[in-house]
Chains A and B, each alone.
Chain A
Amino acid sequence: MKKIAVVSGKGGTGKTVVAASFAALPGSKVMVDCDVDAADLHLLLHPEVKERHEFRGGSTAVIDRGLCRQCGKCSAVCRFKAVKSGPRVERFFCEGCGLCARLCPYGAISMGETVSGEWFVSDTRRGPFVHARLGVAQGNSGRLVAQIRRAAERIAAEEKLEYVVIDGPPGIGCPVIASLSGVDCALVVTEPTLSGLHDARRVMETAAHFAIPVKLAVNKYDLNPEMSGEIEDFCRENGIQFAGRISFDPAVVEALSAGQTIIDSGNRTVGDEIRKIWELLIR
């Protein structure tokens, strides 16, 4: 089982379009959408949900008004400013540490487990797909990523699939680290912009920090061929394998709007470019 994560640093560079295309290319695989904040891969893979699971991401303080004597201890000790006067708990800020509950002299605070999302195991015509929906304004996305990755890896082991393909989130923080942890290779998809290069460098440093091998591809390279060249030079100078260029083509957005991967849409240019990247990744 080979685990490949698609990341970018900067958002909107084309991670999901590339990952969805990989789903349509040869090799048995399980797909995982680890961008649990803004999951989009299902829009191209059209899953039929087989299993639903609740995601319990942590706990939140709950105050029993009947027992509360308004001493103010809870809001004084909370470092996350989650207990406002009243007292009432702002659930968006409560990190679930439980300090207020332990220190309340009247036993008026308990910690309630929160259901902060759902995750799914689905069938698609390309094989199994594990995805999730984080509840509105919930935290702990890193833990949800770890959970769905474990589920996907179990499926890959049971069904003897060759690849686990992870569509990662943007950024370099907790869900990205959870997406990269223990993968065999990270493909960084970037765009030929100063921001794209700046952010790709940050995510490549993050991968290096965790000793994950990295390859890089430039999407929409012809929007600024000169900047694409600079990114290729950067890879060469830093010993990063350059995985390929993908052309800017309005057909990509048309396929997306039709709910199709670019491979299924029959577009040869972009389709072949992505195919070459996939072949390089699995070589």
Chain B
Amino acid sequence: MIISVASGKGGTGKTTIAVNLALSLGDVQFLDCDVEEPNAHIFLKPRLTDERRIFVPVPEIDESKCTYCGKCREVCAFNAIAVLGGTGPGGGSVLVFPHLCHGCGACSIFCPEKAIKEIGREIGMVESGIRDGMGFVHGRLNVGEAMSPPLIRKVKERADSARTVIIDAPPGISCPVITAVEGSDFCLLVTEPTPFGLNDLVLAAGMLRELKIPFAVAVNRDGIGDGKVDDYCAGEKIPILMRIPFSKEIAGAYSRGEPAVSLFPELAGQFRDLFSRIRTVSGSS
């Protein structure tokens, strides 16, 4: 079973819940798909045993064959290629903007002179390892790199279907999040009881409905703010599977990179209960 932990708003406690759930269950695989800002390793401290650089395809132009016909520019939907002047070999120039390239392959397929081949451009790294019995994989996007989905897909390719897989997703509701949660059997949306938390929960719920992924809510920092998240969930019949009260002790443990269940072992039972509830509401018990 693949369980993803997501939220519209950042900083609501996705990593806290994903990490503590994983530690309470023990025999799981953890995939940190927040490749822009991967944090789970701070808490899980896995022994990393494998590191792979990840590449995306970008065009390389062989200007000895190029006739500057402009076909590559014409078929590129992302304005990643510019062709300047020229008629014969060496008469003009072709500029490739690798950061705009989505790697669709259209330019090399349509080049009439077969002057384009695709080369790999590194966008980041997938690292994996273990912590006790737990499998751990995360991605780390290179600084300055705009597109995280190809790297997120590489992290997810490592999912072990024989195990319970827990995915820590990035915040938001667009491409990176969709890439991370797609294919999950269940998604837990973490929110906080504030107007910001509610506004972004509504957006994230809309995204999961579109993706047809069953979901429920966990309320973190319960006790701050107001009761409107509860009212919304009641009105929409979205189950609230867990509440973690706001506590300076839990916040303190988080700040030092210590998982709450290491400090308060009694919490592990609550996270195992959360897992049973997830199995019940997702119909996979």
Contact = CB atoms under 8 A, between A and B. Distances in A.
Interface stretch (A22-30, A152-160, A167-175, A273-281): A167-175
Interface string B1-20: 00000001111100100000
Give chain A's interface residue range (CB within 8 Å of chain B): 35 or more
Contact of A137 (B173, B226, B255): B173
Nearest to B176: A173
A149 to B, nearest CB: 15
B252 interface: yes
A123 interface: no
A173 B147 contact: yes
A194 B196 contact: no
A195 B32 CA distance: 14
A174 B11 contact: no
B178 interface: yes
Interface string B57-90: 0000000000000000001011000000000000
B42 A38 contact: no
Contact of B210 (A99, A137, A172): A137
Contacts of B110: 102
Contacts of A96: 77
A235 interface: no
B10 A170 contact: yes
Given A192-B255, A194-B255, A195-B15, A202 B9 contact: no
A99 B109 contact: yes
Interface string B204-241: 00110111000000000000111000000000000000
Interface in B149-205: 170-178, 182, 192, 194-196, 199-200, 203
A173 B102 CA distance: 14
B255 A11 contact: no
Given A102-B110, A134-B174, A79 B146 contact: no
A202 B42 contact: no
Interface in A111-153: 134, 136-142
A11 B256 contact: no
A40 interface: yes
A37 B109 contact: no
Contacts of B146: 142, 173-174, 177
Contacts of A232: none
Contacts of A79: 103-105
A206 interface: yes
A18 B52 CA distance: 39
B195 A259 contact: yes
Contacts of B11: 10-13, 170, 191
A98 B210 contact: no
A208 to B, nearest CB: 8
A205 B178 contact: no
Contacts of B224: 250, 253
Interface string B27-57: 0000000101101001000000000000000
Contact of A40 (B102, B175, B199, B211): B199
Interface string A9-51: 1111100100000000000000000001111100100000000
Interface of B: 8-12, 15, 34, 36-37, 39, 42, 75, 77-78, 102-106, 109-110, 141, 143-148, 170-178, 182, 192, 194-196, 199-200, 203, 206-207, 209-211, 224-226, 248, 251-252, 254-257
Given A40-B195, A253-B194, 6 more contacts: A37-B174, A99-B109, A136-B173, A137-B207, A141-B175, A195-B15
16 contacts: A13-B11, A43-B199, A59-B77, A98-B75, A98-B77, A99-B105, A136-B173, A140-B174, A171-B170, A173-B146, A173-B148, A195-B37, A198-B42, A223-B251, A223-B255, A256-B225
